[in-house]
Structure 1
Amino acid sequence: METVLEATLNGTKSSPPLHPYYPLEVEIAGYIANEYSVIQLLLAFGSGCAAILSVTYVAAKRIRSQIPTSELLTLMWFVLSGCIHFFFEGYYAYNFKAMGGRQDLFGQLWKEYAYSDSRYLTQNAFVMCMESITAICWGPLSFIVAHMITTEHPLRHPLQAIVSLGQLYGDVLYYATSMFDHYYLEKSYWRPEAYYYWCYYVFMNLFWIVIPLILLYNSTTAGGRAFKALQKMDRSLQANGAIKKTL
């Protein structure tokens, strides 16, 4: 006959985990399972992104009918980024203390994504600070860059470089902190299924590595061309001034 202590220990060992997130022992305050299916959540998110891009495309064509394709794609990227940063990530920053129990659409989307990174449900300091900075800074500035593209504002490229560098820096730190915990502390925040790691954690965040790198390069080269033209103009003016003096 097992003792009370043994029964307690056996009961503890056989009890199911309180949530499906990894590590399984992590505490998630007020956790409630999602009501929407994965398909419903992905369709809702995809439909929202498609609607934002469609409206942006139509508006951009009306404001600047001859906008080049590369400029149009960049504008659409910044509008979509601004919406995701300000509204979706801003939602997380505002509600981070109770994400485990949120049952609205954004809350369930975050809980679905958290299968690849449970830090979003555990009031993690780095994730909260990173998302807050992203929502407050890069969200509004993305909208400003988009407006500057439509109006061909001369400060577009400096601001585009700043926003792109900020996005790139935040995403690199996001990957780096998680990888540090995984390889050095042997603590993983994603479920063992490859889908969550490769589709959610890697693929969905890779956009904010690749595209900001391209835009940062474009803005840097544009700035270089502008300074080169200015230097050429200065030399021409100086040469003309020297010729006038000799005359």
Structure 2
Amino acid sequence: MTTPHPYYPLSLAMDTYVAPTQHPLTLVCTIGTALALVLLLSYILVLRPLPLPRSTMLTAQWFVLCGSLHCVFELYYLAQFTALPESTDIMASLWKEYAKSDSRYLTQSSMVGALESVTVVVVGPLCWLVVIGICRDSPVRWLAQLVASVLHVYSVVLYFATEIIASESSCRPEPLYYYGYFYAMNAPWLVVPLWLATSAAREIHTAMHQAMQKPSQCIVEKKKKG
């Protein structure tokens, strides 16, 4: 007999599903507080002492946020990939709440598993590399920012597209879950990375253009001296 659950499609079989005991508002407040604390501590302990422009400070905070989510929250998902439906800890409950907008997170979807694997193994470390690059004023920051941002955009576009073209939706039809959880919660990882990727590409182009101009300038100067 299939265990009753709140996920779509309603015909979805989840024999080992255990419902969360925490109220959804409690779960939202928990992750919100945790992320706010991470951002506050990173600002006070690391970023505030540095003479960074406001835009660079915000970029660093964005990648701290992304790195924390990818390397903790999403790493937990991969670690509990097959056991998530029956898990009852706070992290599992958070994923179960989000899964109301995408039940693929509780059904061992190969697409979701692949996206999350790339996010945890590749994108997460790149986010921290951007933060380190900003703190050290290293040019590696721009390459890491470009790659991480492009991967963010690609994964969100693919994530949205697979749900849109699916023959059967994995999201509950209520506006809170469809427009709130599924679209609004993921949209920042489409919009912000587009701007960050453009910014990084512009910086890399400018640096390469200047580097290419130097040899010709040296030749001109030598001719003048000669």
TM-score relative to the length of structure 2: 0.95
Mapped to 2, the partners of 1:96 and 1:173 lie a distance apart of: 20
Which of residues 208, 219, 226 is equivalent to 1:238?
219
Partner of 2:21: 35
The structural deviation recorded for 1:233 is 2.3
Higher helix share: 1
Map Cα deviations across residues 85-134 of structure 1 (whole Å, 9 max, x no partner).
01111111111112111111110000000000000011111001111111
Contact 2:2–2:13 (8 Å) recurs in 1: no
Map Cα deviations across residues 50-94 of structure 1 (whole Å, 9 max, x no partner).
101101111234541x11111111111111100100111111111
Please identify the structure whose Cα radius of gyration is greater: 1
SS in 2 for 1:26: coil
SS in 1 for 2:14: coil
SS in 2 for 1:18: coil
RMSD: 1.6
AA aligned to 2:140 is L
Structure 2 gaps of 5+ residues are: none
Which of residues 17, 29, 37 is equivalent to 1:51?
37
Which of residues 118, 121, 126 is equivalent to 1:141?
126
Contact 1:161–1:220 (8 Å) recurs in 2: yes
Partner of 1:220: 201
AA aligned to 1:212 is P
Map Cα deviations across residues 142-181 of structure 1 (whole Å, 9 max, x no partner).
1111011011002110111011111111111111111110
Partner of 2:5: 19
AA aligned to 2:144 is L
SS in 2 for 1:218: helix
Contact 2:2–2:14 (8 Å) recurs in 1: no
Partner of 2:78: 93
TM-score relative to the length of structure 1: 0.87
Structure 1 gaps of 5+ residues are: 1-14
Mapped to 1, the partners of 2:104 and 2:122 lie a distance apart of: 22
SS in 2 for 1:97: coil
Percent sequence identity is 35
Which of residues 48, 63, 73 is equivalent to 2:58?
73
The structural deviation recorded for 1:29 is 3.9
Mapped to 2, the partners of 1:114 and 1:77 lie a distance apart of: 24
SS in 2 for 1:205: coil
Matched, 1:129 2:110: no
The structural deviation recorded for 1:224 is 1.5
The structural deviation recorded for 1:16 is 9.8
After TM superposition, list the pairs within 5 Å mapping 1:142-157 onto structure 2: 142-157=127-142
Partner of 1:3: none
After TM superposition, list the pairs within 5 Å mapping 1:126-205 onto structure 2: 126-181=111-166, 185=167, 187-205=168-186
Contact 2:77–2:84 (8 Å) recurs in 1: yes
Mapped to 2, the partners of 1:232 and 1:239 lie a distance apart of: 11
